[in-house]
Amino acid sequence: MASITIRNLEDDLKRRLRIRAAEHGRSMEEEARAILRLVVTETAPPRNLAAAIRSRVAPLGGVELDLPPRDKIRAPPRLSGKRA
């Protein structure tokens, strides 16, 4: 098994890890392993680009657009089959 050293860990973060480990009846090291296992193995839901854009602009409000009426669909061109 591999080892990892984490330097410059904030005191508050270390304290919260210690408390969380105690709540789960584990050592701080085992708690850190459990957290890493959980986060690394969880699959992220597929990112929906349209939903992400909508959530970004929704707080700005909407815009009402006047859409012009649509014309009837034109008849397709007749092709005689002859080449020019």
Q: Is there a domain that residue 13 lies in?
A: yes
Would you state the pLDDT for residue 44?
A: 76
- pLDDT at residue 17, rounded to an integer: 96
Q: What is the pLDDT along the chain (84 residues), one digit of tens a residue?
A: 889 999 999 999 999 999 999 999 999 999 999 999 999 988 877 789 998 888 898 888 878 889 999 999 999 998 887 665
| Residue 66 forms part of a structural domain | no
pTM assigned to the model:
0.51
Is 53 inside a domain boundary? no
Query: Is 57 among the domain residues?
Result: no
Structural domain that includes position 26: 9-43
Cα(1)–Cα(26) distance, integer angstroms: 19
CA–CA distance, 33 with 29 (Å, rounded to integer): 6
Helix, strand, coil % (nearest 5) of the chain? Answer: 45, 0, 55
Q: Output the 3-class SS for 18-35.
A: HHHHHHCCCCHHHHHHHH
Residue 23 domain flag = yes
Helices within 1-84 (DSSP H only): 11-23, 28-41, 49-57
Q: Provide the pLDDT for residue 37.
A: 93
The pLDDT of residue 84: 56
